[in-house]
Structure 1
């Protein structure tokens, strides 16, 4: 069977290759493993909480309705960093397609983490669709505002931890010429570097990146990962380096920063404002071939 469900997780196996799999925790609807022909593509901390006690460190945590810690919006400022989606147990809605195997998870106010919905009581319906291709992984989100009278204001982000061999040999391409906000320097500027390289902690947000730009993780001239986005104009690039990773209790091994880089497609520079009864859709495709997935189907 291509879909297996347990009490805590769902596992997809591609029908053409049993070594191509994706594993999703129901807590947070977090993809924590994606293998292509037996090769793991995502980074997961060895100290990640997999029991539903805390959000997972690694994989693809889901960020909603706020990115980071909001200090200005009266409602959203009450929520913890990155909101409530990664802190809630999602409902497994079942399989929608057999090849490529595709499944869906759902979350709304009624089943979300009650500690969070006490802080942020807005109405929302989320449907996450996960599609496991023979050589790609697609994660898509649909957000509906079920209210009849009130706008829904939110951020969305796929906090994707990609596995790499060595951060110091790794570069990120195709973001030159974009406006970038450096969260560490608290400065915004146009990035004129042809590639992003890593020699220290990096926490930057590229703004309004056109969908035609396929963000690529490259090592020694060879693509390791490509990230294609639909309706996600911002790209966060993050690596905690030594001091930051050393201060995070759930980041293990402490040298793990050498084997990961976060490329995070999102809508975070501004808020999406969704009118009553309306829906908003966005997605990412992760693959190794930048040419094959120029368009999200």
Structure 2
């Protein structure tokens, strides 16, 4: 197990075990019973459960859990690119690599460690990575679970190269929902977005809230730092707070696309929605020695909506 004794000493409520491929995974627990699971395969959060033990992230029943294939679900990390361009694999290579536990993480602010169970991970490029993306970097990821069960991911990417490089980035967050047709997103109304179903053409959001009745694949631009995803049937709202991540990706493959994906069930689009904090439209450029930080915090609150109040046409604030 290597590090587990040392890790357990100074990170109470953090446990390291191995998955069935022999890859380390870390389980974080809150005092009230919430939990999160993080795999060293991709530095990926694969589970986030509330105090009642309900799973809040979606993972496909057909997901492939074998490196180097990225797992379909949870929170894959898309770096150094989001989408498909150039010689790199789609969404970049970070989500396919085996990360290490960072034994000497840089100090973070008191808010990032106070009363939280957390793990620090590290990714550096291999010789193979440098052939397809010739830039030296250190990618530090902290995943933390607060006492109230909220989940935070903090990424710090440093250029240890002799020349500048640019990247795009996303926390590709698969939320578990009761029924996609009962879900709405608030906080993105009136914003411009790039529509990936229309050659990235730019449109302006017209609805009071975003609702779903067909495939959606959009990048919302210059977004606020708080976005809410309301699941009417479960009377549950996901609140996404973010920093350093100006864009928000909204994705649901719907029926036809679902049938074309080998690692995704034909009807599973009804139970999931991706809402990602991201940097896509204007990639980050780091000069030698510079560091970028992007963080997202996910929490769940009970929705106060009941069916008589629920009205898709009317903006329901908090």
TM-score range, shorter chain: 0.7 to 0.9
- Residue 17 (structure 1) aligned to one of 32, 44, 64: 32
- Residue 45 (structure 2) aligned to one of 11, 16, 31: 31
1:32-51 alpha-carbon deviations (Å, 9 max, x no partner): 10001101100001121223
Tell me, yes or no, if structure 1 residue 130 matches structure 2 residue 120: no
Residues 72-111 of structure 1: matches in 2 within 5 Å?
77-93=86-102, 97=113, 99-110=115-126
Distance 2:216 2:169 in 1: 21
1:21-66 alpha-carbon deviations (Å, 9 max, x no partner): 1111111011110001101100001121223230010000000001
Distance 1:95 1:248 in 2: 40
Aligned match of 1:266: 278
Structure number with greater Rg is 2
Aligned match of 1:47: 62
Distance 1:265 1:50 in 2: 24
Q: How does the TM-score come out when normalised to structure 2?
A: 0.82
Distance 1:179 1:53 in 2: 35
C-alpha contact 2:60 2:268 (8 A) present in aligned 1: yes
Aligned match of 1:235: 248
C-alpha displacement at 1:290, in angstroms? Answer: 9.6
1:215-271 alpha-carbon deviations (Å, 9 max, x no partner): 11113394421111101000000000011111000113x211100000011001111
Tell me, yes or no, if structure 1 residue 180 matches structure 2 residue 189: no
Between Structure 1 and Structure 2, the one with more strand by share is: 1
C-alpha contact 2:30 2:145 (8 A) present in aligned 1: no
C-alpha contact 1:109 1:121 (8 A) present in aligned 2: no
C-alpha contact 1:201 1:241 (8 A) present in aligned 2: yes
**Structure 1: stretches of 5+ with no match in the other structure:** 71-76, 292-297
- Residue 83 (structure 2) aligned to one of 60, 68, 83: 68
Partner of 1:82, secondary structure, is coil
C-alpha contact 1:174 1:216 (8 A) present in aligned 2: yes
Distance 1:95 1:3 in 2: 17
- Residue 225 (structure 1) aligned to one of 232, 238, 243: 238
**Structure 2: stretches of 5+ with no match in the other structure:** 1-11, 106-112, 304-318
Distance 1:59 1:289 in 2: 19
Distance 1:135 1:27 in 2: 23
Partner of 2:136, secondary structure, is coil
Aligned match of 1:56: 71
Partner of 1:138, secondary structure, is strand
Aligned length: 277
Tell me, yes or no, if structure 1 residue 216 matches structure 2 residue 228: yes
Distance 2:72 2:66 in 1: 12
Distance 1:174 1:21 in 2: 27
Partner of 1:199, secondary structure, is coil
Tell me, yes or no, if structure 1 residue 286 matches structure 2 residue 295: no
- Residue 14 (structure 2) aligned to one of 3, 10, 17: 3
